[in-house]
Amino acid sequence: MSKIKVGIINVTGYAGVELARILGQHPEIKLTSVTGRSAAGQTLAEVFPHLANLNLAITTELGDVDFAFSALPHKESSKECLPLIQGGTRVVDISADFRLKDPTAYPAWYGFTHPAPELLKQAVFGLPEIYRSRIASAQIVANPGCFPTSAILALAPALKAGIIEPEIIIDSKSGISGAGRTLTLSTHFSEVNEDVSAYALDGHRHLPEITQELNLLNPNQAVKVTFIPHLVPMTRGILTTIYSTFKTGKISRGKKKKDELLTLYRDYYKEMPFVRVVDFSPHTKYTLGNNNCLIHPTTNPGGDKLIVFSCLDNLVKGAAGQAVQNMNLMLGFPETMGLEAPAIFP
Amino acid sequence: MSKIKVGIINVTGYAGVELARILGQHPEIKLTSVTGRSAAGQTLAEVFPHLANLNLAITTELGDVDFAFSALPHKESSKECLPLIQGGTRVVDISADFRLKDPTAYPAWYGFTHPAPELLKQAVFGLPEIYRSRIASAQIVANPGCFPTSAILALAPALKAGIIEPEIIIDSKSGISGAGRTLTLSTHFSEVNEDVSAYALDGHRHLPEITQELNLLNPNQAVKVTFIPHLVPMTRGILTTIYSTFKTGKISRGKKKKDELLTLYRDYYKEMPFVRVVDFSPHTKYTLGNNNCLIHPTTNPGGDKLIVFSCLDNLVKGAAGQAVQNMNLMLGFPETMGLEAPAIFP
Amino acid sequence: MSKIKVGIINVTGYAGVELARILGQHPEIKLTSVTGRSAAGQTLAEVFPHLANLNLAITTELGDVDFAFSALPHKESSKECLPLIQGGTRVVDISADFRLKDPTAYPAWYGFTHPAPELLKQAVFGLPEIYRSRIASAQIVANPGCFPTSAILALAPALKAGIIEPEIIIDSKSGISGAGRTLTLSTHFSEVNEDVSAYALDGHRHLPEITQELNLLNPNQAVKVTFIPHLVPMTRGILTTIYSTFKTGKISRGKKKKDELLTLYRDYYKEMPFVRVVDFSPHTKYTLGNNNCLIHPTTNPGGDKLIVFSCLDNLVKGAAGQAVQNMNLMLGFPETMGLEAPAIFP
Amino acid sequence: MSKIKVGIINVTGYAGVELARILGQHPEIKLTSVTGRSAAGQTLAEVFPHLANLNLAITTELGDVDFAFSALPHKESSKECLPLIQGGTRVVDISADFRLKDPTAYPAWYGFTHPAPELLKQAVFGLPEIYRSRIASAQIVANPGCFPTSAILALAPALKAGIIEPEIIIDSKSGISGAGRTLTLSTHFSEVNEDVSAYALDGHRHLPEITQELNLLNPNQAVKVTFIPHLVPMTRGILTTIYSTFKTGKISRGKKKKDELLTLYRDYYKEMPFVRVVDFSPHTKYTLGNNNCLIHPTTNPGGDKLIVFSCLDNLVKGAAGQAVQNMNLMLGFPETMGLEAPAIFP
**Domain co-membership, B205 together with B110:** no
Residue D207: name the closest of D109, D289, D98 by CA. D109
Q: Is D282 on the interface with C (CB under 8 A)?
A: yes
Residues of D in contact with A190 (CB under 8 A): 14, 175-177, 181, 187, 235
- Cβ contact D232–C232 (<8 Å): yes
Q: Is B52 on the interface with D (CB under 8 A)?
A: yes
- Cβ contact B235–C189 (<8 Å): yes
Those chains having 3 or more beta-carbon pairs within 8 angstroms of chain A are B, C, D
In a domain, C342, yes or no: no
Share of chain D above pLDDT 90, in %: 97
DSSP designation for C187? G
What is the ipTM for the molecules in this complex? 0.97
Per-residue pLDDT tens digits for A247-279: 998 888 767 899 999 999 999 999 999 999 999
**Domain co-membership, C151 together with C136:** no
Residues of C in contact with B176 (CB under 8 A): 189-190, 193
Residues of D in contact with A192 (CB under 8 A): 189
Helix (H) or strand (E) holding D170: strand D164-174
In a domain, D345, yes or no: no
Pairing of the two strands B305-312 and B293-299: antiparallel
* CATH number of the CATH domain containing A199: 3.30.360.10
In a domain, C343, yes or no: no
Predicted pLDDT of residue B1: 63
- Cβ contact A25–C343 (<8 Å): no
- Cβ contact A195–B285 (<8 Å): yes
Average pLDDT, chain A: 97
Report yes or no: C308 and C296 within 8 Å, Cβ to Cβ: yes
Predicted pLDDT of residue D2: 85
**Domain co-membership, B12 together with B111:** yes
Q: pLDDT band at D1, cuts 50/70/90? A: low
Per-residue pLDDT tens digits for B172-217: 999 999 999 999 999 999 999 999 999 999 999 999 999 999 999 9
In a domain, A336, yes or no: no
Report yes or no: C98 and C120 within 8 Å, Cβ to Cβ: yes
Chain A residue closest in CA terms to B294: A197
Q: Is B219 on the interface with D (CB under 8 A)?
A: no
Alpha-carbon distance D261 to B3, whole Å?
40
Inform me whether the pLDDT recorded for D254 exceeds 90: no
- Cβ contact C235–B190 (<8 Å): yes
- Cβ contact A239–B282 (<8 Å): no
- Cβ contact B288–D344 (<8 Å): yes
Predicted pLDDT of residue A1: 63
pTM of the model: 0.98
Report yes or no: B85 and B119 within 8 Å, Cβ to Cβ: yes
In a domain, A258, yes or no: yes
Q: Is A25 on the interface with C (CB under 8 A)?
A: yes
**Domain co-membership, D151 together with D121:** no
**Domain co-membership, A228 together with A263:** yes
Per-residue pLDDT of chain C (346 residues; tens, 9 = 90+): 689 999 999 999 999 999 999 999 999 999 999 999 999 999 999 999 999 999 999 999 999 999 999 999 999 999 999 999 999 999 999 999 999 999 999 999 999 999 999 999 999 999 999 999 999 999 999 999 999 999 999 999 999 999 999 999 999 999 999 999 999 999 999 999 999 999 999 999 999 999 999 999 999 999 999 999 999 999 999 999 999 999 998 888 767 899 999 999 999 999 999 999 999 999 999 999 999 999 999 999 999 999 999 999 999 999 999 999 999 999 999 999 999 999 999 9
Average pLDDT, chain D: 97
**Domain co-membership, B155 together with B304:** yes
For range D287-296, the mean pLDDT: 98
* CATH number of the CATH domain containing D67: 3.40.50.720
Q: Is B112 on the interface with A (CB under 8 A)?
A: no
Per-residue pLDDT tens digits for D171-192: 999 999 999 999 999 999 999 9
- Cβ contact B239–A198 (<8 Å): yes
In a domain, A344, yes or no: no
Pairing of the two strands D164-174 and D224-231: parallel
Which of B46, B47, B188, B285 to mutate to probe the C interface, most C CBs <10 Å?
A: B188
**Domain co-membership, D206 together with D129:** no
Chain A residue closest in CA terms to D237: A190
- Cβ contact D203–C301 (<8 Å): yes
Inform me whether the pLDDT recorded for D276 exceeds 90: yes
**Domain co-membership, B171 together with B289:** yes
- Cβ contact C194–B233 (<8 Å): no
How far apart are the CA of C274 and the nearest CA of chain A, in angstroms? 11
User: What is the amino acid identity at position C276?
Assistant: R
Residues of chain D by 3-state class (helix, strand, coil), percent to 5? 35, 25, 40
**Domain co-membership, D66 together with D82:** yes
**Domain co-membership, A55 together with A173:** no
Q: Convert B220-250 to b/e letters by CB count within 10 Å (16 or more is b).
A: eeebbbbbbbbbbbbbbbbbbbbbbbbeeee
Per-residue pLDDT tens digits for C145-181: 999 999 999 999 999 999 999 999 999 999 999 999 9
Q: Is D287 on the interface with C (CB under 8 A)?
A: no
Residues of B in contact with A300 (CB under 8 A): 226
Of the partner residues C199, C243, C307, the one whose CB lies closest to the CB of residue D281: C199
Range of the domain at A163: 147-314
Q: How many domains does chain B have?
A: 2
Per-residue pLDDT tens digits for B65-108: 999 999 999 999 999 999 999 999 999 999 999 999 999 999 99
Residues of D in contact with B49 (CB under 8 A): 278, 280, 282-283, 286, 294
Chain B residue closest in CA terms to C194: B235
**Domain co-membership, D248 together with D272:** yes
Inform me whether the pLDDT recorded for B253 exceeds 90: no
In a domain, C344, yes or no: no
Which of A165, A170, A196, A315 to mutate to probe the B interface, most B CBs <10 Å?
A: A196
Per-residue pLDDT tens digits for A115-170: 999 999 999 999 999 999 999 999 999 999 999 999 999 999 999 999 999 999 99
**Domain co-membership, C157 together with C118:** no
In a domain, B338, yes or no: no
Among all residues of A, which ones are annotated catalytic? 146
